[in-house]
Amino acid sequence: MGRAGLRHPPEQVVGSSGVTKFQLRPDRKTLLWKEAKVEFIDDGPGKPVGINRFIGRRPIFAFGNSDGDQQMLQWTADSSGARFMGLVHHTDAEREWAYDRASHVGRLDKALDEAKTRGWTVVDMKRDWRTVFRFEEATVGTR
């Protein structure tokens, strides 16, 4: 299930995965079992590889929030036709989470620099979003 309870068709979901093997058992029944091995990591250079593998098309709209999304944005930008590349800059530790160049998790450093030089859209969570979560809607305007 996606955000806000939305369901996404499996062919529209790309994520890290482990190695799965097929086995025909002696009783002629089949079995799929997962090995303790990583098949694919959906981060950094793995993002465009996974999108190509599972969806088979280059995005026309790519949005990320960390350096782990930079290669996906680069791959999206490196094509003809209309394309959108964007980043959410998590700057609101009060309402959600703040991470930036020095963060240990969710670092946004190199992709932020590239966004500025290449003209990608950068949304600043604290400055640009009135509401982060639905439960805040009742308190809008009280900040």
Nearest Cα to Cα of residue 86 among 70, 100, 102: 70
Residue 139: predicted pLDDT? 59
| Best CA proximity match to 58, nearest among 39, 77, 42, 41 | 77
Q: Please name the residues in contact with 7: beta carbons below 8 A apart, sequence gap of 6 or more.
A: 1
Q: Give the per-residue pLDDT at 2.
A: 46
Mapped onto helix, strand or coil, the DSSP state of residue 115 is helix
pLDDT at 1: 45
Query: For residue 54, what pLDDT is reported?
Result: 86
Distance in angstroms (rounded) separating the CA atoms of residues 95 and 91? 9
In the three-class reduction of DSSP (H, G, I as helix; E, B as strand; rest coil), residue 114 is classed as helix
Nearest to 97 by CA among 126, 119, 73, 120: 126
pLDDT at 142: 54
Closest residue by Cα to residue 81 from 58, 111, 103: 58
Q: Return the pLDDT at 8.
A: 72
Instruction: Tell me how crowded residue 108 is: count the other CB atoms within 10 A of its CB.
Output: 25
Measured in whole angstroms, the distance separating CA 41 from the mean position of its chain's CA atoms is 12
Write out residues in the chain with pLDDT < 50, as ranges. Answer: 1-2
Six token digits for residue 87: 């980043």
Q: What is the pLDDT of residue 37?
A: 95
Give this prediction's pTM: 0.79
